[in-house]
Homo-oligomer: A and B are copies of this chain.
Amino acid sequence: MKFFAFWRSLASFRVRIALNLKGIVPDEIVDVNLVQGRQREEAYRKVNPQMVLPALIDGDGPVLFQSLAIMEYLDETHPNPPLLPKEPRARARVRGLAQIVACDSHPLLVPRVREYLEHELHLDEPTRLKFIQHWIGAALTALETNLANSKETGRYCQGDQITIADICLVTQATGAGFYKYDTTPFPTVRRIVETCMQNDAFARAHPLKQPGAPASV
């Protein structure tokens, strides 16, 4: 298994957690430096023409792309421990929570969008930061409201089992930290994230623990 990732990429972080939870160690981890724009170079374009991370090649391919799709693939091919509950409504809730992060928040703060804000719209740094924080906050508000008011919330987002919703929640909170967004108003989110981070599979997947990462952002 060949895993294309970058320390700072929150979508790579998701897949790294899933790999750790499943006990899968990729044969090779290819560093694609997003800060240097290496995702746009020919070598990676051949892997993933969308020029985004992560990508995963399992055996003879084809290349797998999009973090949520990769996590579901890993869950289907390595069922233990499961990352989704069994019951359809519970699965829908878990996927919905994950998608609040992966569809409605994270895509608004990825490198290509930040670069567009800077180089096409010529927004200054405080305005760009405000934009990013706005969408981080909108998702955290939606997540907190759901988690705090649902009987299904337990030790984790969905009962007492770790799911892809927890993985996405942790990456959302980590992104909030990157952009100095205060998560104090989201106690349920914080509680679940803290619980997750006590798990070694989450802790050692953290961006700042990856090769090439700085001591802090």
Contact with A134, one of B89, B98, B116, B134 (Cβ below 8 angstroms)? B116
Least distance between A121 CB and chain B CB atoms (Å): 7
A113-B107 contact, Cβ under 8 Å, with A49-B142, A121-B131: no
Least distance between A155 CB and chain B CB atoms (Å): 19
A92-B116 contact, Cβ under 8 Å, with A104-B107, A142-B50: no
Contact with A96, one of B66, B121, B131 (Cβ below 8 angstroms)? B66
Contact with A92, one of B72, B98, B107, B113 (Cβ below 8 angstroms)? B72
Interface residues of A in 118-156 (CB under 8 A from B): 120-121, 123, 127, 130-131, 134, 138, 141-142, 145-146, 149-150, 152
A96-B113 contact, Cβ under 8 Å, with A62-B152, A91-B76, A103-B107: no
Interface residues of A in 48-95 (CB under 8 A from B): 49-50, 52, 58, 62, 64-66, 68-70, 72-73, 76-77, 88-89, 91-93, 95
Interface residues of A in 24-59 (CB under 8 A from B): 49-50, 52, 58
Q: Is the CB of B116 within 8 A of A49?
A: no
Q: Is the CB of A50 within 8 A of B100?
A: yes
Any B CB within 8 A of the CB of A204: no
Residues of A in contact, count (CB < 8 Å):
49
Given the complex of chains A and B, what is the CA–CA distance between A106 and B130 in angstroms? 21
Q: Which residues of B contact A49 (CB under 8 A)?
A: 141-142, 145-146, 149
Q: Is the CB of B95 within 8 A of A66?
A: yes
Q: Is the CB of B68 within 8 A of A99?
A: yes
Contact with A89, one of B64, B92, B102 (Cβ below 8 angstroms)? B64
Q: Is the CB of A92 within 8 A of B69?
A: yes
Q: Is the CB of A138 within 8 A of B112?
A: yes
| A to B CB contacts below 8 Å, 10 in the list | A50-B100, A50-B104, A50-B142, A50-B145, A62-B93, A62-B150, A69-B92, A73-B88, A73-B89, A73-B92
